[in-house]
Structure 1
Amino acid sequence: MRAARYADRVARMTDHAAPTDTPTAAPNARLPLGRALVVSRPALWVNTVGTLVTGVWLTGRLFTLDAGVLALLAYLTLPFNLLIYGLNDLWDQEEDARSSRKGGWQGARLQAQEAAPLLRATLWWNLPALAALSVLLPAPATLLLLASALLFAAYSLPPLRLKARPFLDGLSNVAYALPLALPALALGSPVPWWPLLALMSYSVGKHAFDAAQDIPADRAAGTRTVATTLGARGTAAYALTWFFLASALLLPASKLTALALLLTCGSMALRLLLHPTPEQAARLYPLSIVTPWIVGAVAGVQLVYLLARGQWTGF
C-alpha cells in the first residue's frame, strides 16, 4: 500500500499536465529565484548558517579566511536549505494541502507545475556545489557534509522516507547539528563534542515538538510520524526529555547557554504537556522558530566576548 502511494505521488509530480485552471509548465521551465528563496525558508537558515558560524567560534577563531569554510558558509544558505525543504515539499504535497500553516513563511504549498522545475533547481544548486566543496575541504569534512545531505534526502525521499518512520524521523534530524563540527574538521581543530551532542539532542526534541501541530494533517494523509504515534501529550513529554538531555550536555561548555535552552525549549514543551492539543502546538510554534535565535545569541555573545578577550581557545 505504501509503495503504491509513493508510486502514485511520483507519477503526479513527474506529470507536467496541470489542471485546466492552472497554466501548463513548459518541459524545461525554470523555478524563479524568488520562488526558490521562498521554498528554502530563509527564516530557518539560522539552523544551518548559525550552526556553522558557531562552529567556527568554537575552534577559537572569531573570523576565518579559509576558502573551504567561506564556501561552506555560502553553500549552507540557499542551496542546502533548498535541498532540505525543497525535497520535503515535493514529497509532502498531500500533507501540505491539508495544513493551514503552509503557503507562507512556514513552508511552501507547491503548484502541480512547480514540481519538476523545483527538483531540477534543487539538483543544480546542490550537486555542482557539493563537487566543488569536495575539492576545497579535507576528506573528513566532506564526508560529514555528505552525511548531513544524505540524511536530509533520506528524510523526505522514498524508499527510506524517514519522515514516515516514527522515531527515525526525529533521530535523522541530527543532520541539523552536523555543520557544527565542519569548521573543526576543515581547520584541523578538535571537534566540540559536548556542544555537538547537545545540538543533536535539541534537534531530535525540536523535530518532535514541531511535528505535534501537524498531527491532524499527517493522520489524514496516512503519514505516520513520532507525533502521530505518541499523540500530542506523549510528543510533548518526548520532546521535553530531549531538551533536558540537551541542557545537561551543554553544562560542560556553558552553564548559561544550558539554562537558556532549558528555559526556552523546556518551557514551551511543558506548556504543550499541560495543554496537549495540535492547536496549542501551533500557537507555540513561533516560539519554537525563535529558540535557535535565543539560545544561539546567548552562546554567541559569550563566545565572542571570550574570543575578543583572548580567554577562549576552543575545545
Structure 2
Amino acid sequence: MHACRSTLEDPLIYFMLFANVYLYGVNDLFDLDTDLLNPKKAGPERSAAGATRLLAASAAASALAAVPLAVDPTAAALTVLYLILSTAYSAPPLRLKARPLLDSYSNWLYIVPAALGYYMSSGSLPPAWVWAAGVAWTAGMHALSAVPDIEADKKAGVKTVAVAMGPRGTMLFVVANWTTTAVILTARDPLLAPSLLYPAVALYLALRPHLVPTWYWRFPYINTAMGALAFLYATRHIWTGYL
C-alpha cells in the first residue's frame, strides 16, 4: 500500500507544481510582447529578465522532479510528451499558439496529466473515446480563452484561432468542439449528460460574443465543479473496469 501511494504521489506533486511552473514559465517568456498589450495579463511589471529567470528555474526543477517518473517507460513517455507540447506551444520555431487551429488542437497537453494518473492507477492508458472527448474539450476551452485576447494579439502580430475567426466564428468553433465532447460522453454513459452544459453555454455566447470576456472569468468555477464530477466518475469506474 505504501509503495502504491508513493507511486501516485510522484506525478501528483510533479504536475501540480513543477510541470505547471514549466508550462507557464515558457509561455510568459515568449509572450512578453502580447502580455504588455493585454489588460488581462500582469502588464509592464512583467520583465524579460524575470521571465528568463523563471524559465531557467522551472526547466531545471522540471528535469529534476521528473526523474521519479522515468522508472516506468509509459509514465516517462507521457511526461516527455507533456514537456514537448508545453514548449512547442509557445517557443519558436513551432510556436503553435500563432498557428490557427494548431493552437487550439495542441492544447490536449492538458489531458496528459490525467492520462498519466489513469495509467498509474489502472495500469493501462485511457480508451480512445476518452482521448477524443478530451482533445475536443481542450480545443474549445483554448479557443474561448483566446477571444478576450484578440486585440492584444492583433497588435502583437500573433494570429491565433480567435484572431483568424473573430469572436462569433470562434464561439461557433467552440460549440462544435464541445458538442463533440458532449455527444461522445453522453453516448458512452447517460450519467455524463452534464457535459451538455458546455455547448449550451458556448451557443449562448456565440449569440452574444460581447459577453465572452465576462464569462471567461466564470469558467474556472464551472470547470472546477465539472472536474470534481469527472474525477468522482473516473475514480469509481477505474476500479470497476467500466472505462
Please report the TM-score for the alignment, with normalisation by the length of structure 2: 0.89
Q: 1:65 maps to which residue?
A: 4
Question: Following TM superposition, by how much is the alpha carbon of 1:239 offset from its aligned partner in structure 2, in angstroms?
Answer: 0.6
**Counterparts in 2 of 1:127 and 1:180: CA distance versus 1, 3 Å:** same
- Larger RCO: Structure 1 or Structure 2 (Cα < 8 Å, ≥ 6 residues apart)? 1
Q: 1:295 offset after TM fit, Å?
A: 1.5
More divergent stretch after superposition (163-172 vs 245-254): 245-254
- Give distance in 2, aligned partners of 1:311 and 1:115: 43
Instruction: Name the % identity.
Output: 32
For residue 207 of structure 1, what is the aligned residue in structure 2? 142
> Is the contact between residue 28 and residue 51 of structure 2 (CA under 8 Å) also seen in structure 1?
no
CA deviation profile, 1:138-173 (whole Å, cap 9, x unmatched): 212211221121101100101110001111101110
Mapped pair 1:261 → 2:203 = no
Alignment match, 2:13: 74
Distance 2:229 2:69 in 1: 31
State the match for 1:134 in structure 2: 70
Closer, same or farther in 2 for the Cα pair 1:290/1:241, shift >3 Å? same
Counterparts of residues 45-64 of structure 1 (less than 5 Å)? none
- Partners of 1:68 and 1:302 in 2: how far apart? 22
Quick one: structure 1 residues 313 and 66, their matched pair in 2 at CA, closer, same or farther if it must change by over 3 Å?
same
The one-letter code sitting in structure 1 at the alignment partner of 2:241 is T
Shift of 1:186: 3.2
- Structure 2 matches for 1:1-315, cutoff 5 A? 65-103=4-42, 110-135=46-71, 138-187=72-121, 189-193=123-127, 194-257=129-192, 259-263=193-197, 265-277=198-210, 280-303=211-234, 306=236, 312-315=240-243
- Residues 313 and 139 (structure 1 numbering): CA distance in 2 closer, same or farther, change over 3 Å? same
Give how far 1:185 is off.
3.2
Unaligned segments of structure 2, at least 5 residues: none
CA distance in structure 1 between the partners assigned to 2:77 and 2:174 by the alignment: 29
Q: Which runs of 5+ in 1 are unaligned?
A: 1-62
Alpha-carbon deviation of 1:256? Answer: 2.9
- Cα distance, 1:242 vs structure 2: 0.3
The question of whether the paired residues in 1 share the 8 Å contact of 2:69 and 2:75 is answered with no
TM superposition shift of 1:269 = 1.3
Aligned CA distance change for structure 1 residues 297 and 115 (closer, same or farther; 3 Å)? closer
CA contact (8 A) 2:22 2:55 kept: no
Aligned partners of 1:77, 1:311: CA distance in 2, in Å? 24
| Contact 2:144–2:170 under 8 Å retained in 1 | yes
Once the two structures are superposed, what CA deviation does each residue of 1:87-109 show, in whole Å capped at 9, x if it has no partner? Answer: 111111111111111129xxx96
Shift of 1:187: 4.9
Conserved in 2, the CA contact under 8 Å of 1:87 and 1:153?
A: yes
In structure 2, do the counterparts of structure 1 residues 90 and 314 end up closer, same or farther at CA, with 3 Å as the change threshold?
A: same
Query: In structure 2, the residue corresponding to 1:244 is in which secondary structure?
Result: helix
State the Cα distance separating 1:302 from its structure 2 match: 4.1
CA contact (8 A) 2:29 2:52 kept: no
**Alpha-carbon shift at residue 247 of structure 1 (Å):** 0.7
Task: Give the paired residue count.
Answer: 241
Change (3 A) 1:179 1:112: closer
